[in-house]
Amino acid sequence: MLRFDRRLLQHFDWVMLLMLLLVSGMALINLYSATYSADTGVSGIFYRQLLFFTVGLVSIVLVITQDYQKLAKLGFVLYFFTLILLLYTLLFVKTIGGAQRWIDLGFFNLQPSEPAKLILILVLASYYANTEVAGGYRLRDLIKPVILTIIPFVLVLKQPDLGTALILVVIFVTLTLFVKLRWATIGILGGSGLLCAFVGWKYLLKEYQRKRIETFLNPESDPMHHGYQILQSKIAVGSGQVFGKGFLEGTQGHLHFLPERHTDFAFAVWAEEWGFAGSVFFLSCYFFMLIWGVNIAMSAKDKLGTVLAFGCVMLIFWQAVINLFMIMGLLPVVGVPLPLFSYGGSSLLTNMLAIGLLMNVRMRSFPASPVPSPDFRP
């Protein structure tokens, strides 16, 4: 049995758990509707996600029992393990729908690029926590984190999965900006980033990826494909109006006008069925969950805790922003799910683990209690 400091129980992060349950509850309700069919009733997808959610809760319990310091030390092992999985995916997995993303484990299709995000945060956080540079990081101090990011980035991009690759870069950028950088470093990185974007656009992006961005910038040029998805998504959201069409009553979702309605466009189903009121309620819960995460980062007892917590918040935050903005027609169609909301086992587990890490940091941010609890036995 795992050794567990019962003191930690006193500091258990009920707030985060409550927010997690609220958000996940809405996610499950929405998934039920999004996958419900009048002919076949409740979809198996719903039960699968329910199972993943339960597994996620168990994983959270496991994660919070271990000090995040210990977990960070494990980070590099996990990192290499993930790289191997990504490589394996690229080399041995057959293409599904033009991409190689999933490893078939029999009971479950693992998408290694999902945990890769969290593990990147783990290794970056432990690197930044262990290297203290007076006056901010220089360019040469960033060589290691850049390499740490670039390897999974390239592997994911080759799958090809632009959305996840983008998230990896965003995580790196946010975390690196979070730890102190020299202005020169920022300038050089920014400049080379722009250069990379240019080169990437010109030579690296696949035709369909370029098309998506072009479509977004000029929706009339491609009305039947990605412009169509965005349009249908906007119609779904907009037609929800103030109070929505009601549970299971969304026409855009149930009549298949909405693409990917239980994965990337899940929130559009929510907005259609619950309207502005439901959407604001959901976003407020989500927002509060993230703010609570920032609070955890600010109150962490050490640098690793702060950077790790911050990374977890940013992981969820950026994915959410990209996903929501895509659904509301503010961004091009990028395959990024809404964390804790979209269907997908790998994504759900990863993001629940991120929440678990946040709770972990929170529980260990309190100084040892001067007065031991009456039932405390060392």
Partner 1 sequence: MLKRVSAKIMDALPVFFKKMQRNNKQNRKRAEPLLDSGRRHDGGVTPLHQRDESNLNGFKKKALYSLALLTIFFAIAITRLWFLQIQEGERYSQLADSNRVRALEIVAPRGNIYDRRGREIVTNRPSFNVTWVRESNRIDDAWLKNLTRILNQDASVLLERVRKMSGVPAHIPVRLAEDIDWETVARIENSRMHLPGIKIEVVPLRVYHYGNLASHLIGYLGEISREELDRMDRQVYRGGDIIGKMGLERLREPDLRGEKGREFMEVNALGFEQRNLKGLEPLPGNDLYLTLDMELQKIAEDLMAEGNRAGAVVAMEINTGRMLVLASAPALHLEEFIGGISHRAWQEMLDNPLHPLVNKLVQGQYPPASTYKAVTALAGLSEGIITPESTYYCPGHFRFGNRIYRCWRRGGHGHVDLKKAMAESCDVYFYNVGLKLGVDRIARYARMFGFGALTGIEMEHEKPGLVPTADWKRRRHGEPWMEGETTSIAIGQGFNLVTPVQLNMMTAGIANGGTIFQPAIVERVVDPDGQVIEVFEPNILHRLTGQGRWLKLIRDGMVEAVNGQRGTGRRARLDAEGIIVGGKTGTGQVVRLKQYRGLKDEDIPYRFRDHAWFTCFAPANNPEIAVTVLVEHGLHGSSVAAPIAAAVLNGYFEDKFREQARAVEQEELRSRQPVMLSEDMLIDVGFPVYEDDDTWLPAGQPSH
Site for partner 1 in 37-76 (CB under 8 A): none
Nearer of residues 148 and 237 to partner 1, judged by Cβ: 237
Q: What is each CA distance from 120 to 124, 152, 260, in whole angstroms?
A: 6, 8, 27
Least distance from partner 1 to the Cβ atom of residue 335, Å? 20
Q: In sequence order, which ranges of 36-140 are alpha helices (DSSP H)?
A: 44-65, 68-92, 113-130
Query: Cβ(327)–Cβ(250) under 8 Å?
Result: no
Nearer of residues 111 and 232 to partner 1, judged by Cβ: 232
How far is Cα 378 from Cα 370, in angstroms, rounded to an integer?
Answer: 14
Q: What is each CA distance from 52 to 57, 98, 105, 352, in whole angstroms?
A: 9, 26, 14, 10
How far is Cα 143 from Cα 38, in angstroms, rounded to an integer?
Answer: 55
Query: Cβ(102)–Cβ(96) under 8 Å?
Result: yes
CA dihedral 351, 354, 358, 359 (to 10 degrees): 70
| Nearest residue to 161 via CA among 218, 95, 81 | 95
Binding mask 170-189 toward partner 1 (x if CB under 8 A, else -) reads -------xx-x---------
281 near partner 1 (CB under 8 A): no
| Nearest residue to 159 via CA among 114, 197, 216, 118 | 114
| Nearest residue to 172 via CA among 159, 183, 181 | 181
For the chain, what is the radius of gyration of the CA atoms? 21
Among 279, 319, 350, 351, which residue interacts with partner 1 (rule: CB under 8 A)? 279
How far is Cα 248 from Cα 242, in angstroms, rounded to an integer?
Answer: 17
Nearer of residues 97 and 367 to partner 1, judged by Cβ: 367
Least distance from partner 1 to the Cβ atom of residue 128, Å? 10
248 near partner 1 (CB under 8 A): no
How far is Cα 235 from Cα 217, in angstroms, rounded to an integer?
Answer: 18
Least distance from partner 1 to the Cβ atom of residue 254, Å? 8
Nearer of residues 43 and 109 to partner 1, judged by Cβ: 43
Least distance from partner 1 to the Cβ atom of residue 149, Å? 19
What DSSP designation does 94 have?
Answer: P
Least distance from partner 1 to the Cβ atom of residue 228, Å? 10
Give the range of 18-26, 119-127, 219-227, 297-305 binding partner 1 by CB under 8 A.
Answer: 297-305
Nearer of residues 156 and 237 to partner 1, judged by Cβ: 237
Binding mask 303-342 toward partner 1 (x if CB under 8 A, else -) reads x--xx--x--xx--x---x--xx--xxx------------
Give the range of 17-25, 98-106, 253-261, 349-357 binding partner 1 by CB under 8 A.
Answer: 253-261
Among 59, 65, 66, 295, which residue interacts with partner 1 (rule: CB under 8 A)? 295
Query: Cβ(318)–Cβ(168) under 8 Å?
Result: no
Tokens of 239: 């037609």
Nearer of residues 2 and 255 to partner 1, judged by Cβ: 255
Binding mask 208-247 toward partner 1 (x if CB under 8 A, else -) reads ------------------------x-xxxxxxxxx-----
Q: Rule CB under 8 A: which residues touch partner 1? A: 14-15, 177-178, 180, 232, 234-242, 251-252, 255-257, 271, 275-276, 279-280, 283, 287, 290-291, 294-295, 297-299, 303, 306-307, 310, 313-314, 317, 321, 324-325, 328-330, 367
